[in-house]
Chains A and B, each alone.
Chain A
Amino acid sequence: MQLKNKGTVATALAGAACALLGTPAVQAEEEMLKDWKFDTAILYYGETDRVSLAEGVISATKTNDDDSLFNVKLVIDTLTGASANGAVAQPYAQTFSRPSGKDGYVVKPGETPLDDTFRDTRVQLSGSWMQPFADTWRGTGAVNFSREYDYMSLGVSGLLEKDLFMRNTTLSAGLSFQFDSIDPVGGKPMTMTSMLTPTYNEADDLFDWDDDYEEGENKDGSDSKTTTDLILGVTQVINRRMLMQFNYGLSVVDGYMTDPYKLVSVVDSSGITQDVIYEGRPDSRTKHSFFWQTKYALDNGVVDVSYRYATDDWEIDSHTIDSRFRFNLGDNNYIQPHLRYYQQSAADFYRPFLNQSDATPMYASADYRVGEMTAYTVGLKYGHKMENGHEWAVRAEYYQQDPKNAGFDEPGALADLDLYPSVKAVILQFNYHF
């Protein structure tokens, strides 16, 4: 048999049912709760000539008959490739020792020194329980654990939410506590002290250290940090199409925040490296963030725009604008462009390099990630809902970071070198929901 055109049966039946019952109907709103819902994704992140990351996520959620929600999430990622070690490029080849202290690597003249030692696998497991109570309250408790070769992290958090004015306003308050420990490969280096560099013997492709290396570098042991986060938020329904969220976040970090694998070059007045030292960062940081997000329902899509302003006592201020525009193509397909712009100022201890003539400061880092920079992301996502209710989506994005000179003079040889190379990355992702 061939039924009439699309949708007309349902429409005609609605009219017939109305004639039969004589009462106007309320609009149906319901969902079938499967025992478990699964969200899975694989992501590839690859930088040109630098690190690449492959990440897999499985998230499983169960809704119980009191509307409580249980979620477990497993994330596994592996990182390979090279990342900037912080030292400046030089007009001649430079030799560095690897973190283990057992080997070295040579960087070609004029190139940004990249350490290609990194190869790590991270496993992260987290679980949360959301419980509604007393009609208008919700409480959420969560734990997470993450482990990689040289790093371990353990966290607990709690969130309390209260609905007001017929659920048009929601107030939330959350607290999180995170303990991280790091056990650097080769030991934790003493900050702001020289890295002993080997001599590269090209003939037999071996790295030789001076005799005093036997006495050992100032590298020893492990360290840790704690992070305490507070979040206060308001979510407000504006009208039938729009809702808005505003969050204030306070984050206090205490402990070891230095990157044990990052270096700072000490140069003379002609820009030639005289020494390479291990970086050092302050052991406390207090951050404030102000986050605003709004979502607007179009007839055939959603506009999602957020802005974040963050400031901290390292004097890093940042502005982030993130926007997604979803366009539904019929009932079962959508495309979603993504645009993100990010801008940060440099930390007060950021130094692209140190001048030999100056006194060694207490803290210094040449890591471009705490320097001045802008970054943008452009991306496109396509999603499809299948007849069996499963959904898949693909996402492709381009991410570029443009570090900037935060007003440092570049003496001698450095003036001719690119000290702030851009980092370009592609992101590819596949999602499957069932």
Chain B
Amino acid sequence: MTVNQGNTAATEASSAAAFSIHPKDGFFLGAFEAMASPCEILIDTSDPLLARHITELACREAQRIEAKYSRYRQDSVISVINQSAGSQVAIDDETYRLLSFADTCYQLSDGMFDITSGVLGRAWKFDGSDNVPQAQAIKALLSHTGWQRVAVTAQSITLPAGMQLDLGGIGKEYAVDRVAGMLAAQIEGVSVVVNFGGDIQVTCRRQHDKPWFIGIENPLKTEQGETLVKIFQGGLATSGDARRFLLKEGKRYSHILNPKTGYPVENPPRSVTVAADTCTQAGLLSTLAMLQGKDAEAFLAGQGVTHWVYR
């Protein structure tokens, strides 16, 4: 075995990828930053070369997706669409599939999940203060939302002027599943956990059928840190409003906005974690549950998926 003993970290630095790998008890941990989140790759191997290879592949793919779909990157596909001022923009197959998925989510949720609703966030500053915006301001922003007004074909998209797309609600989960799918296809039989800031996918079972143990943030006990999840395979995602809210006259406004009213959803849980076959599926179910407010538990119970709700 050629594993470095102790906790020495081998750090790779290049223009394309900056990541590190760390030997752990029976597996390797690869770490890097992407999509404003700490990203971790757990690799069920004792071979540092394989661990480095896998981590580098994961890091490259995560950075590719971030560069392509982040609205904070001036040259991203999303930025180009957002700056199109109502003109038609050509899109590739991957972008079309993402927009189709967003469309499915919009239909399934009767418009509660809407990737054009991001502009509503301009009115709301969720900093714990009592700055609840004026009704007119919200009404003005609502006129710039509505996925049904966007025209999408397999080759192009036309976004009405003044509207904005934000893939924040599905981008990270998509990246997790893309990375996991790529690793599963390229490196067969090695169990890998892809964990981008709590959105998780496990590619396949570990050797000897051992589970992975992964800590995820629990809003009810931020001091103590994390809740432990025992996971054999599949996806896991968490939505929450930890520390992002407004307080006015004793009323707590969560940062989960209802795209139809422009106002925060009432009584959403503090956090919802869902287990599903894919991270993308889990992420959407947890988001949709949050949008249900006080009915989040009933919604999840009706979906027959494993879930954990904290209020």
Contact = CB atoms under 8 A, between A and B. Distances in A.
Contact of B233 (A29, A32, A33, A163): A29
Contacts of B111: 1
Contact of B232 (A29, A32, A166, A389): A29
Interface residues of A, number: 44
Contacts of A16: 100-101, 104-105
Interface string B238-268: 0000000000000000000000100000000
Given A12-B108, A32-B227, A167-B209, A7 B101 contact: no
Interface stretch (A63-71, A337-345, A368-376, A402-410): A63-71
A203 interface: no
B9 interface: no
Contacts of A20: 97-98, 100-101, 174, 177, 280
A13 interface: yes
A1 B110 CA distance: 7
A33 B208 contact: no
A21 B178 contact: yes
B142 interface: no
Interface in B113-147: none
Nearest to A34: B227
Interface in A16-60: 16-23, 25-34
A1 B207 contact: no
B210 A10 contact: no
A63 B230 contact: yes
Contact of B110 (A2, A14, A25, A136): A2
Contacts of B203: 26
Contacts of A19: 97, 100-101
Interface string A113-156: 00000000000000000001001100000000000000000000
Nearest to B279: A17
A7 B301 CA distance: 9
A387 interface: yes
A29 B231 contact: yes
A13 B281 contact: yes
Contacts of B305: 10, 28
A358 interface: no
B278 A9 contact: no
Contact of B112 (A1, A7, A22, A136): A1
A18 to B, nearest CB: 8
Interface in B58-101: 97-98, 100-101
Given A3-B292, A10-B281, A28-B235, A387 B210 contact: no
B25 A32 contact: no
A236 to B, nearest CB: 15
Contacts of A22: 181
Interface in B205-222: 207-211, 213, 215
Contacts of B299: 3
B12 interface: no
Contacts of B101: 16-17, 19-20
Nearest to B111: A1
A240 interface: no
A13 B178 contact: no
Contacts of A23: 177, 181, 184-185
Contact of A25 (B100, B232, B278): B278
Contacts of A12: 104, 108
Contacts of A3: 108-110, 288, 292, 299
Interface in B285-302: 285, 288, 291-292, 297-299, 301-302
Given A13-B281, A17-B278, A166 B227 contact: no
B228 interface: yes
B108 A30 contact: no
A4 B273 CA distance: 21
Contacts of A205: none
Interface in B268-288: 273, 275-278, 280-282, 284-285, 288
B277 A27 contact: yes
B248 to A, nearest CB: 24
A232 B185 CA distance: 43
A332 B297 CA distance: 14
Contacts of B282: 28
Contact of A389 (B276, B302, B308): B308
A28 B233 contact: yes
A214 interface: no
Contact of A26 (B178, B204, B302): B204
Given A17-B281, A20-B280, A67 B210 contact: yes
Contacts of A29: 231-234
Contacts of A132: 210
B278 A21 contact: yes
B280 A30 contact: no
Interface in B166-220: 174, 177-178, 181, 184-185, 202-204, 207-211, 213, 215
A26 B233 contact: yes
Most central of B25, B111, B213 by chain A CB within 10 Å:
B213
A299 to B, nearest CB: 15
Contacts of A13: 104-105, 108, 276, 280-281, 284-285
18 contacts: A1-B109, A2-B110, A4-B108, A7-B302, A10-B276, A10-B281, A12-B108, A21-B178, A23-B177, A26-B202, A27-B234, A28-B276, A31-B229, A31-B230, A33-B230, A34-B227, A135-B210, A387-B297
Given A17-B177, A23-B184, A30-B275, 10 more contacts: A9-B285, A13-B276, A16-B100, A18-B278, A20-B100, A26-B204, A28-B234, A28-B277, A30-B230, A388-B297
Interface of A: 1-4, 6-7, 9-10, 12-14, 16-23, 25-34, 63, 65-67, 132, 135-136, 163, 166-167, 331-332, 387-389
